Amino acid sequence: MLGIADPWVALAYLLCIVSALLCLVWGIIKWNQDDPETEPEEEIRQWAEEEDRVGEEL
């Protein structure tokens, strides 16, 4: 098989190719979906105000 005598080496190559294809498929499926981990604007504003307050104290 393509000059590879050891079946374990051939399996490793095959699994690398399959995993790369799965990553491509997953990326295409998730391409334009909204990010569920985005923070609301209010939470970001509160974090920035607290950071400014801490920076002034230093």
**Each residue's pLDDT tens digit in the chain (58 positions)?**
578 889 999 999 999 999 999 999 999 998 888 766 666 788 888 889 999 988 888 7
Q: What is the pLDDT of residue 9?
A: 92
Separation between Cα atoms, residue 53 and residue 56, nearest integer Å: 5
Nearest Cα neighbor of 49 from 36, 41, 16 is 41
Separation between Cα atoms, residue 47 and residue 54, nearest integer Å: 11
Q: What is the pLDDT of residue 33?
A: 81
Q: What is the pLDDT of residue 30?
A: 87
Separation between Cα atoms, residue 37 and residue 43, nearest integer Å: 12
Q: What is the pLDDT of residue 39?
A: 65
